[in-house]
Structure 1
Amino acid sequence: MTETIKRKLSESPAARWTAMLIVSFTMMCGYFITDIMAPLEDLLIKGAPGWTDIEYGWFTGAYGWFNVFLFMLLLGGIILDKMGVRFTGLMACGLMVGGALLKAYAISPLFPAGGELWGFKTQVWVAGLGFATFGMGAEICGITVSKVIVKWFTGHELALALGLQVAMARIGTAAALSASLPIARAMGGICYPVLFGALALCIGLLAYVAYCVMDRRLDASIAAAQDEPEEGFKLADLRQIVTSKGFWLIALLCLMFYSGVFPFLKFATKIMIYKYNVPPAIAGNIPAILPFGTILLTPLFGSIYDRIGKGATLMVIGSVMLVAVHVLFALPILNVWWFALAVMLVLGVAFSLVPSAMWPSVPKIIPQKQLGSAYALIFYVQNIGMMCVPMLIGWVNERFAKYTLADGTIGYDYTPTMSIFALFGVVAVVLALLLKAEDRCKGYGLEEANIRK
């Protein structure tokens, strides 16, 4: 496909930004459900469900069960490259809605009390099954939305568009962290925030149906502009992905960096309560600052990458900041709310730098017809962390962080927990430096601007 045709197929700026906003709204609804339970951890443990720290960690890790053990995310990437973004996106949205409803049922009063299976409450297993189904749909939707944006923005403001998509997803995360507990208390049950999220997902599904109309029109313009059809995706193309050193460095960097952020958010509200003495009613507002900060910064850094370049450098800087943040959280100093708030703001900058450069860098290494499978493999590797790290942290909190005070109340020393997160950041720094070196050797163009003159 020639450069002239690519520009022609991008259509008008209004069309491509409209497409970006529609699919990003769907992802925003998904992220609301992803983090909706984090502020409810203390209620789940102290309240009627009576979960343990290990059970909460197990449930949180359930997000990646199907994606990791059944390879559903990799299958989703192949389906995406073979069937296209319309079929795959609608399928993913349906899985998200079904999983959210099952999760809401499991933690509702309708679920039968009692029962135990393999050492955990039956309720934990059913809630985990719902979360795993949702996670399968959410991750497949994530790679689909990424491919949609690359499809519309290649040669244009790709990093900015991906950054804005990430920013809208962070609005969903921030809304979950700040609104989940107030909704649960106002409605009188922990299932109601999840039901509210399921309703939002239904709206997101309808939005994606609207996008499908635009995508059909885009495909028609592509067919009209091409002299001959572009060669489609073949399973043999996977070899080009798995033999690329640059691809694996980005995949492992994604694993380490996100393992230091997303699982941390699942436990952050409780950390604010026990380490920084923040009242439970407002403790979720401090972690919520993290995604709110990225709403402005991720598009800003994406725009810098589009116009100036330096993508590999941005990833190095963001990874170094991640290490600094978790070291500060691990130190037994300044256990006051304003210090936690300041450190969370720094984490917000790091959380903006790396994604704004990482996701637009993948199309510079992998051809577009293979992007669905490439993003799927990266998300698969990331899901290993999303599944295993919460389980590890829940176990560490139960065995090493929890202690009993003289008055019989429970306290937590989160130094071991935060040290683990800091270690993930150290490995991310090493991987980012190796990626920068690999870019110099292979000439991927990670340090070059995305907008073509």
Structure 2
Amino acid sequence: MNTVQKSLRDSAVARWSALLIVSITMFCGYFFTDVMSPLKPLLEKDLGWTSGDYGWFTSAYGWFNVFFGMLFIGGIILDKFGARIAGLLASGLMVVGASIKYWAVASEFPEGAMLLGHSKQVAFAALGFAIFGTGVEIMGITVSKILVRWFKGYEMALAMGLQVAVARIGTMLAMAAPLRIVDHFGTISSPLAFCLVLLIIGFLSYFIYIVMDKKLEASIEVEKDEASDEGFSFKDLGAIFANRGFWYIALLCVLFYSSVFPFLKYATDFFINKFAMTPEDAGDLPGLLPLGTLFLTPIFGGIYDKLGKGATMMIIGSVLLVFIHGLFAMEGLTSVPVAITLVVLLGVALSLVPSAMWPSVAKIIPEKQLGTAFSMIFWVQNWGLMGVPLLIGYVLEKYCISSEPGADVVTYNYNLPMTIFMCFGILAVVFAVLLKNADRKKGYGLELPNDKH
């Protein structure tokens, strides 16, 4: 009779309910993030965008996070005021940014009207995407800290893996659904309207989590946890900057994601150009990637919880990237079955690394600094999410056009962009190995299990 429930998080039902609620918000965010990816050929054909316009628009996702330090501000708000305020602010920004982006794509602007060197439509769509990107990235660090708060000492890697898996369903639908929605409603903006409705639902669902978090705060002994969490301090920045393991995992993060998510932005166009697929099939194929992660990420997270080997998993996933993009870059490789196989393997890589990487941050960084640390990692990551799509769009337009000048449809040779993605993978392997060596010397515990119960 001496067993006492310490806090609400000791209830499995409460933990997993909290996970489900915040996962809904991230699912909606991931859906909107990639909903324009399958529409690139239509944007060029019907709205007159170029690959340069598309790359610039896609890079807008990271503008405010990188240049105005919004992720740092979000991390400070998270550590100072908690996940309730930070999450509500972030999900609200997602809705505002998505609304502006939808309005821009749905509206007609005077021909030749320019802003920031691009058409007004592209510029306003980019502005909306930049505001949305600020919200979804702050939401990402908020959810990461929420899961540490509820699952530390329990199934933390499994929980993070499941959250990523649910979010990846959004990515999968973003690959497969937009062209079908356009066919049904007849307008390029209709997938954005559909996503905007989902984002509003995600925003409203977060209020349910707020109620749960208040109950957690009021539960037994949580006051002690809060007392040990001193909130943001500029001293924390110095401690994080001095942590070599932090830099290895931050650089691994930006390099790994730079070879995956920017690839997804161009994947539909890539498969149309290199493998001669129909637009619908080319949109469905990258949808296999998040479908695979739906099952594999929780499995790999569970393995990390029970058996450890987190650093080893990150090395294996990074090596897979090099192999996959190396084959995609090969001249003459146009076999659709091979393309399908490589996308499936890319899903394995995208499951291995995040399922080990995000729980490992909580082993390298003290809990009271986690919000700041996550915001800094996401800030580094946003340099890649901003710069790489811009780079790929420039490379495509400058060096990779394979159609004749004046052709009705512009076609591209994607071998050079795939080589660039492969190089990011090689660098990711380097930093994954350095991280494992640092773990051996510093004893972070990356190769040890997470679940202590």
Matching residue of 2:431: 431
Matched-pair contact (CA < 8 Å) for 1:103–1:127: yes
Change (3 A) 1:401 1:64: same
Deviations 1:304-340 (A, max 9, x none): 0000000000000000000000001000233132221
Matching residue of 2:356: 357
Q: Displacement, 1:420? A: 0.2
Matching residue of 1:440: 440
Return the letter of the residue paired with 2:142. Answer: T
Change (3 A) 1:311 1:131: same
Matching residue of 2:90: 92
Once residues 404 and 420 of structure 1 are traced to their aligned partners in structure 2, the CA distance between those partners, rounded to angstroms, is 22
Return the letter of the residue paired with 1:235. Answer: F
Once residues 333 and 50 of structure 2 are traced to their aligned partners in structure 1, the CA distance between those partners, rounded to angstroms, is 28
SS of residue matched to 1:284: helix
Matched-pair contact (CA < 8 Å) for 1:62–1:387: yes
Deviations 1:315-367 (A, max 9, x none): 00000000000001000233132221111001010010000000000000111
Matching residue of 1:320: 319
Matched-pair contact (CA < 8 Å) for 1:5–1:225: no
Matching residue of 2:332: 333
Return the letter of the residue paired with 1:435. Answer: L
Q: Displacement, 1:220? A: 1.0
Once residues 204 and 225 of structure 2 are traced to their aligned partners in structure 1, the CA distance between those partners, rounded to angstroms, is 35
Asked if residue 46 in structure 1 is aligned to residue 45 in structure 2, the reply is yes
Asked if residue 197 in structure 1 is aligned to residue 195 in structure 2, the reply is yes
SS of residue matched to 1:450: coil
SS of residue matched to 1:403: coil
Asked if residue 248 in structure 1 is aligned to residue 247 in structure 2, the reply is yes
Matched-pair contact (CA < 8 Å) for 1:6–1:155: no
Change (3 A) 1:222 1:129: farther
SS of residue matched to 2:394: helix
Asked if residue 153 in structure 1 is aligned to residue 151 in structure 2, the reply is yes
Return the letter of the residue paired with 2:375. Answer: A
Q: Displacement, 1:111? A: 4.7
Once residues 52 and 421 of structure 2 are traced to their aligned partners in structure 1, the CA distance between those partners, rounded to angstroms, is 18
Matching residue of 1:26: 25
Describe how 1:114-193 pairs up with structure 2 within 5 A: 114-193=112-191
Return the letter of the residue paired with 1:77. Answer: G
Matched-pair contact (CA < 8 Å) for 2:109–2:120: no
Q: Displacement, 1:141? A: 0.4
Asked if residue 348 in structure 1 is aligned to residue 350 in structure 2, the reply is no
RMSD: 1.7
Asked if residue 284 in structure 1 is aligned to residue 255 in structure 2, the reply is no
Matched-pair contact (CA < 8 Å) for 1:106–1:127: yes
Matched-pair contact (CA < 8 Å) for 2:176–2:280: no
Deviations 1:133-186 (A, max 9, x none): 000000000000111111000000000000000001100000111001111221
Matching residue of 1:221: 219
Once residues 70 and 118 of structure 2 are traced to their aligned partners in structure 1, the CA distance between those partners, rounded to angstroms, is 25
Once residues 224 and 415 of structure 1 are traced to their aligned partners in structure 2, the CA distance between those partners, rounded to angstroms, is 54
Once residues 5 and 118 of structure 2 are traced to their aligned partners in structure 1, the CA distance between those partners, rounded to angstroms, is 54
Percent identity over paired residues: 55
**TM-score, normalized by length of structure 1?**
0.96
Structure 2: gaps spanning 5 or more residues: none
Q: Displacement, 1:296? A: 0.2
SS of residue matched to 1:451: coil
Matching residue of 1:35: 34
Matching residue of 1:311: 310
Matched-pair contact (CA < 8 Å) for 2:116–2:123: no
Matching residue of 2:382: 383
Change (3 A) 1:152 1:119: same
Return the letter of the residue paired with 1:433. Answer: V
Matching residue of 1:60: 58
SS of residue matched to 1:413: coil
Matched-pair contact (CA < 8 Å) for 1:7–1:155: no
Q: Displacement, 1:223? A: 5.0
Matched-pair contact (CA < 8 Å) for 1:223–1:229: no
SS of residue matched to 1:156: coil
In the comparison of the two structures, how many residue pairs are matched? Answer: 449
Return the letter of the residue paired with 1:256. Answer: L
Matched-pair contact (CA < 8 Å) for 2:228–2:368: no
SS of residue matched to 2:230: coil
Once residues 238 and 255 of structure 1 are traced to their aligned partners in structure 2, the CA distance between those partners, rounded to angstroms, is 19
Matching residue of 1:419: 419
Describe how 1:384-399 pairs up with structure 2 within 5 A: 384-399=383-398
Return the letter of the residue paired with 1:218. Answer: L
Matched-pair contact (CA < 8 Å) for 1:62–1:132: yes
Return the letter of the residue paired with 1:432. Answer: A
Deviations 1:41-66 (A, max 9, x none): 0000111x101110100000000000
Matched-pair contact (CA < 8 Å) for 2:35–2:175: yes
Once residues 312 and 231 of structure 1 are traced to their aligned partners in structure 2, the CA distance between those partners, rounded to angstroms, is 27
Deviations 1:349-395 (A, max 9, x none): 00100000000000001111111111000000000000000000000
Change (3 A) 1:219 1:228: closer
Once residues 86 and 5 of structure 1 are traced to their aligned partners in structure 2, the CA distance between those partners, rounded to angstroms, is 27
Once residues 406 and 9 of structure 1 are traced to their aligned partners in structure 2, the CA distance between those partners, rounded to angstroms, is 65
Once residues 95 and 112 of structure 1 are traced to their aligned partners in structure 2, the CA distance between those partners, rounded to angstroms, is 28
Return the letter of the residue paired with 1:191. Answer: S
Matched-pair contact (CA < 8 Å) for 2:324–2:345: yes
Matching residue of 2:274: 275
Once residues 106 and 222 of structure 2 are traced to their aligned partners in structure 1, the CA distance between those partners, rounded to angstroms, is 53
**TM-score, normalized by length of structure 2?**
0.96
Structure 1: gaps spanning 5 or more residues: none
Matched-pair contact (CA < 8 Å) for 2:317–2:353: yes
Q: Displacement, 1:8? A: 4.2
Matched-pair contact (CA < 8 Å) for 1:277–1:336: no
